[in-house]
Every structure is written in C-alpha cells, then in structure tokens.
Amino acid sequence: MPLRDLGLALAVMAVWGLNFPVAKLGVADMPPMLLISLRWVVVAALALPFCRLPTGRWGKLIWLSGVLGIAHFALNFTGIKLLDAATASVVAQVQVPIAALLGVVIERERPGLWRIAGMVIAFAGVVVITGEPRILEQPAGVILMVAGATCWAIGGLIAKRLTDLPPLAVNAWMAVLSAPGLFAVSLVAESGHWEALMTPTWNGWFAVLYMAGPVTVFGYGIWYRLMRRHPVSTLMPFMLLVPMFGVVSSAVLLGDPLTARFLLGAAITLAGLAVLILVRR
C-alpha cells in the first residue's frame, strides 16, 4: 500500500474512533435522536448537490433508511448517552460478529471453525465488559447498543443490494429519508428540543458538524475510494484501530476510567474481531 493511502486509512480510523467521545459530548447537550436528525440534515446539504435521483432504487433506500439511518442510530446514540464513550466504542464492535452471524443465517454462508471462534470470543469480551460495576448499574446502555449493532448488520445486507449506486449518493438519499423519520420519533420519545435548538452549545453543534463532515462525508468517501484501490483483506485489519482510537481518545478527552476488567474485556473483543477480520474463507 502506498504511503499516501496508508496515511489516509489511518486518518479515517482516527476520525471514526474520535467520533465516540464527540458523540458523548453531543448527547450530553442534545437529545440523541434530535442530534442524529440534525446530522442527517447537514449530510444531505453537503452531499445532495453532487448526486442524481436514484431511479428505481427507492424501495431499498427506504428500507435502508429505516433500519440503518433511523433504528440503528436511534438505538446506538441512546445507548451512548447511558454509557461512557470508551465502553461504547468497544461494545459497538459487536456489529462485526453479528454481521457474520447474519451472513450464516440469512445468506447461507459457511463460516468455518475460525469464524465461529471469532464470534464467540468477541461476544465473550463484551460479556466481560458488561460485568463492570458501573455498567451493571445501567445495563440498558449495552442492550441498546447491541440492538443497534444488529440493525447495522441488517442494514449491511440491504446495502449489498445497492452497490450500483455511488456511496455518496447512498449516504445523501439515506440522509434525506432518515432525517424526517428520526425527528418525528424524537418528538414522541424525547424532550428538550426547543431548549437545545434555541440555546445552542458548542459541544452539541460541534458534534453535529463533526459527524456529518469528517465522519460521514470525508470518512466514508475516503474509505470507499481505498476499497476500490486495494483488496478488502488489506483494508479490513485497519478497522481494529477504531475501538483503540475510541478508547484512548475517550480516556484522554473525557477521563473515562480504564479498569483492569474493562481492558481485559476490550482485549478479548479485539481478539475476536481480529479472528473474524483476518481469517481467510
């Protein structure tokens, strides 16, 4: 891999890892679903001028928006509000073994013993982290994030049917379809919208702009370009850096505690992810 592409891959992983403490700051100042609906509004504003109408693809885009754009983010960011950012950055990675499991159940893939071992190890690491006393007091956060990870995995199966559309167009039209639905759910399930919008804080609006620009437009744009230049087997190991960047940045920026039990659980989860990502079919 050329040095330039290596630097871009590392930059994307750092941006995605830093997203966890930024999201934590954002949900402290805004209701989670309102925060994400505003994110989608900004994504649409940035991306739509460069996209055409996806003729004949509206059905799958609507399904993708409902499962990924609305359900995944609503569950995920509500979970982040209940957990510390370091824990959330590790628990979110169960989306990888869940995606592998759905591939076996729905796509009839043959996982092999190594992939089964990777799924079991990754889930075991999350179980170890969940045993932390501070997390046992708020188990709903972990449950919500695991549910959100499941929606992410299902969304991946839907997105596989949209590979004929440019990634920027998928993100743009998913933003258009997701923002109204998320805002409607937010109005029903959350409170404090007027205060959040009329008395804006630096943290909340910075989180909206960071998640829309660096995370979505820059991050996914660069990542999909790299996927066109290099084999997936070369790029996927970089994904292991996302929770590492997430844990370190959460500890440095927010002071999240890194107990021995948490670090053990994180190491076990990363080991399971490494097996899933690195093992050959």
Global pTM value: 0.81
Q: Provide the pLDDT confidence category of residue 6 given band limits of 50, 70 and 90.
A: confident
The reported pLDDT for the residue numbered 179 is 92
The reported pLDDT for the residue numbered 177 is 92
51 by Cβ neighbours in 10 Å (0-12 / 13-18 / 19+) ranks as: middle
Q: Is the pLDDT of residue 169 over 80?
A: yes
The reported pLDDT for the residue numbered 55 is 79
The reported pLDDT for the residue numbered 281 is 46
Joined tokens for residue 112: 């092999």
Joined tokens for residue 183: 């805002």
Q: What average pLDDT does range 116-134 have in this prediction?
A: 77
For 148-164, the pLDDT digits (tens) are 989 988 888 887 787 77
Joined tokens for residue 32: 């989670």
Residue 256, CB half-sphere, CA atoms under 13 Å: how many? Answer: 24
The reported pLDDT for the residue numbered 109 is 67
Q: Is the pLDDT of residue 100 over 50?
A: yes
Joined tokens for residue 167: 């990634």
Q: Cα–chain-centroid distance for residue 265?
A: 19
As separate numbers, helices (DSSP H) first and strands (DSSP E) second, the chain gives: 16, 0
Most confident of 85-89, 107-111, 222-226: 85-89
Q: What average pLDDT does range 63-76 have in this prediction?
A: 91
Our CA angle for 180, 75, 9, nearest 5°, is: 90
Closest CA to 141 of 152, 153, 125, 129: 129
Our CA angle for 275, 276, 281, nearest 5°, is: 100
Residues 183/198/196/21 CA torsion (nearest 10 deg): 110
Residue bearing the bigger pLDDT, 211 or 56 = 211
For 234-255, the pLDDT digits (tens) are 676 777 788 888 888 888 888 8
Most confident of 160-174, 204-218, 266-280: 204-218
